Amino acid sequence: QQQVKQSPQSLIVQKGGISIINCAYENTAFDYFPWYQQFPGKGPALLIAIRPDVSEKKEGRFTISFNKSAKQFSLHIMDSQPGDSATYFCAASRGYQKVTFGIGTKLQVIP
Amino acid sequence: DTEVTQTPKHLVMGMTNKKSLKCEQHMGHRAMYWYKQKAKKPPELMFVYSYEKLSINESVPSRFSPECPNSSLLNLHLHALQPEDSALYLCASSQDPGQGSNEQFFGPGTRLTVL
């Protein structure tokens, strides 16, 4: 059972454009929603995270939007750059328990 | 020091070999994790250690044997692996379990190839 559904699986965006990746979850007990960025051959790196008591969190060009009633959250990358080309995983967890990852989105930013 | 280190970076082993993967962190984290990641897939949790005690085993075959000698070190002992065990093995750590945040810091991984 996939508890965190992520879409799209691949995304091509022009340099300077906005990249948007969406995730939906089923378990209402989740209370921590991180996004990880992974480059080929490297481990995932925490990009930004949000808790359900906040509807939006922004860090530089990266913004998480969170809709608790719809059980959805999304990552927006503003002014996308070729260096942002990577695989992005949304995830969810409850307290200290197991982190559940989405399937991943391979982002390609073209010049 | 805010990083998780893993050695070796690459490992090639035969199905009869015994090898070990090592992971180290000096962030004072008390939870440490082993994940397995196949190409184009998300990380899959294998084991969780909390305060040096094994707290989660995700039904991993016994040919994988974890060990946590102290709060900074995590090992994964490998024996009689199968070719399908070839993958990127990731170690991660997080703060004191029970603090509410499960922010996990990942190492760069060990690329394992089983011949």
With contacts defined as CB-CB under 8 Å, which chain A residues touch B108? 42-43
Q: Which residues contact B10 (CB under 8 A, 6 or more apart)?
A: B110, B111, B113
Q: Is A99 on the interface with B (CB under 8 A)?
A: yes
CB contact under 8 Å between A98 and B48, yes or no, is yes
Provide mean pLDDT across the span B67-93: 96
Whether residue B43 has a cis bond before it, omega within 30° of 0: no
pLDDT tens digit sequence for A38-90: 999 899 999 999 999 999 999 999 999 999 999 999 999 999 999 999 999 99
- Residue in B97, B100, B107 closest to A43 by CB: B107
Is the confidence at residue B66, as pLDDT, over 60?
Answer: yes
Q: Which residues contact A102 (CB under 8 A, 6 or more apart)?
A: A4, A5, A6, A23, A89, A90, A91, B42
Handedness of CA A78, A81, A83, A84 (dihedral sign): positive
